[in-house]
């Protein structure tokens, strides 16, 4: 990593991912010469702490990027589309957390442990993949390399309410309180159905093919990140009453015949992912969302040969979608720069 200190800007600094980005920059000792915190006019004037210093948040404007080396955007697709071009025009490299540029030709889509070299081919913008895609590929990529490439994926995600932001967490908490204290169920503002004591098989909006936008992200983003244009992914994304960290159950078909022990070895040899898989222990070990919350690494368990498909393994992977699925991945991309 180039240790020359950089002027870093964080757009969307007061949001959950923005705050997590600041934690990652500090914890990883990123060489920051100057830090500019940007947010909406409503949040301008607030202060956040970075390395023991109080920094005032400024309003995000087209002129916010003068002298900024790298801008980490986490303020939504509309904001990215409006302001990222201004940043690039000012000579800033943008690392964008939204879906605005992920599938654009000429914009690298990067998971640093998977395709770091792609980050070198940018034209001013590098995109951060969808959180569920990142968590899945952290487990899948070592096997993709070990078994001659992945051909197809069938997956079901179990996605925490923090994926919907602070409002999703609040809605679950209010509903849990109502159930526990025999209160009337509060009005729903985030989810189409009650999320407490329930699961909802809809994350994002439905597309013409019957899949949701979130489900198609793994299909298209997986192809781009793995450089596997023929990869197919059939995914069902489910919102579950968990506060933080996503889990994904995956069946992957490979070109070569895989085996469980080789898969474990490949995963444990990779960066940022670990195997937690002891099904025959007195208390069987496998990862859960709580095991990953506020942690950098993704965890993989329940690895087994699939009983239906040839050359296939079935496994379970869990990762903190706010951290590795968003903030940490963005900071790691900045480190590659």
Q: Is residue 245 part of a domain?
A: yes
Indicate the angle between helix axes 328-336 and 16-27, nearest 10 degrees: 50
Nearest-CA neighbor of 152 among 207, 224, 219, 198?
219
pLDDT given at position 165: 87
Q: Is the pLDDT of residue 112 over 70?
A: yes
Q: Is residue 47 part of a domain?
A: yes
Q: Is residue 219 part of a domain?
A: yes
pLDDT given at position 268: 97
Could you tell me if 298 and 332 lie in one domain? no
- Bigger pLDDT: 3 vs 31: 31
- What is the spatial distance between Cα 258 and Cα 266, in angstroms, rounded to a whole number? 11
Task: State pTM to two decimals.
Answer: 0.95
3-state DSSP of 273-293? EEECCECCCCCCECCCHHHHC
Residue 107 sits in a domain whose CATH number is 3.40.50.720
Give me the number of domains the chain comprises: 2
- 125: containing domain: 6-129+326-336
The catalytic residue among 24, 122, 131, 298 is: 131
Could you tell me if 166 and 303 lie in one domain? yes
**Span 251-280, pLDDT tens digits:** 999 999 999 999 999 999 999 999 999 999
Q: Is the pLDDT of residue 284 over 70?
A: yes
Could you tell me if 141 and 163 lie in one domain? yes
Could you tell me if 266 and 156 lie in one domain? yes
What one-character DSSP code corresponds to residue 116?
G
The catalytic residue among 24, 122, 237, 246 is: 246
pLDDT given at position 166: 86
Could you tell me if 116 and 188 lie in one domain? no
Pair of tokens at residue 256: 């070569």
Residue whose tokens read 């903190």: 320
What confidence category does residue 3 fall into, taking pLDDT thresholds of 50, 70 and 90? confident
Q: Is the pLDDT of residue 1 over 90?
A: no
What residue spans of 107-257 are helical by DSSP H? Answer: 131-146, 166-180, 213-226
Q: Is the pLDDT of residue 150 over 70?
A: yes
Q: Is residue 64 part of a domain?
A: yes
- What is the spatial distance between Cα 21 and Cα 7, in angstroms, rounded to a whole number? 15
- What is the spatial distance between Cα 60 and Cα 23, in angstroms, rounded to a whole number? 21
Mean pLDDT, range 312-324, rounded to an integer: 97
Q: Is residue 1 part of a domain?
A: no
What one-character DSSP code corresponds to residue 212?
B
Residue 171 sits in a domain whose CATH number is 3.30.360.10
pLDDT given at position 94: 98
246 is catalytic: yes
Q: Is residue 88 part of a domain?
A: yes
Could you tell me if 66 and 150 lie in one domain? no
What confidence category does residue 195 fall into, taking pLDDT thresholds of 50, 70 and 90? very high
Could you tell me if 111 and 216 lie in one domain? no
- Lowest mean per-residue pLDDT among 71-75, 164-168, 227-231: 164-168
Mean pLDDT, range 82-94, rounded to an integer: 97
Could you tell me if 103 and 235 lie in one domain? no
**Span 16-75, pLDDT tens digits:** 899 999 999 999 999 999 999 999 999 999 999 999 999 999 999 999 999 999 999 999
Could you tell me if 115 and 151 lie in one domain? no
Q: Is residue 283 part of a domain?
A: yes
Could you tell me if 143 and 269 lie in one domain? yes
Could you tell me if 269 and 294 lie in one domain? yes
Could you tell me if 124 and 49 lie in one domain? yes
pLDDT given at position 2: 53
Taking all residues of the chain, what is their mean pLDDT, rounded to a whole number? Answer: 96
Residue 94, SS3? strand
């Amino acid at each position: 990593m180039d240790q020359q200190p950089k002027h870093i800007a964080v757009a969307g600094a007061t949001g959950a991912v923005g705050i997590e980005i600041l934690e990652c920059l500090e914890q990883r000792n990123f060489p920051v010469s100057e830090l500019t915190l940007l947010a909406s006019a409503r949040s301008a004037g607030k202060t956040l702490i970075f390395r023991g210093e109080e920094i005032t948040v400024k309003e995000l404007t087209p002129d916010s990027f003068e002298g900024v080396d790298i801008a980490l955007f986490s303020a939504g697709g509309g904001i990215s589309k409006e302001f990222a071009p201004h940043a690039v025009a000012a000579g800033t490299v943008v690392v964008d957390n939204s879906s605005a540029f992920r599938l654009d030709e000429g914009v690298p889509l990067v998971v640093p442990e998977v395709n770091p070299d792609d980050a070198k081919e940018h034209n001013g913008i590098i995109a951060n993949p969808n959180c569920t895609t990142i968590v899945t590929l952290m487990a899948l990529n070592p096997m993709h390399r070990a078994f001659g490439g992945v051909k197809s994926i069938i997956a079901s995600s179990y996605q925490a309410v923090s994926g919907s932001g602070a409002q999703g967490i609040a809605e679950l908490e209010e509903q849990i309180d109502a159930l526990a204290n025999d209160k009337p169920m509060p009005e729903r503002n985030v989810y189409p159905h009650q999320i407490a004591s329930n699961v909802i098989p809809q994350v994002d909006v439905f597309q013409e093919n019957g899949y949701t936008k979130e489900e198609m992200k793994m299909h298209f983003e997986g192809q781009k990140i793995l450089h596997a244009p023929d990869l197919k992914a059939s995914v069902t994304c489910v919102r579950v009453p968990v506060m933080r960290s996503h889990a994904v159950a995956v069946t992957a078909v490979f070109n070569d015949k895989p085996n469980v022990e080789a898969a474990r070895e490949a995963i444990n040899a990779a960066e940022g992912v670990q195997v937690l898989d002891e099904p025959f222990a007195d208390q069987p070990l496998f990862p859960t969302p709580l095991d990953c919350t506020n942690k950098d690494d993704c965890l993989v368990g329940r690895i087994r040969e699939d009983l239906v498909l040839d050359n296939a393994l079935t496994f379970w992977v869990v990762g903190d979608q706010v951290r590795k699925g968003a903030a940490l991945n963005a900071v790691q991309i900045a480190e590659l720069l």
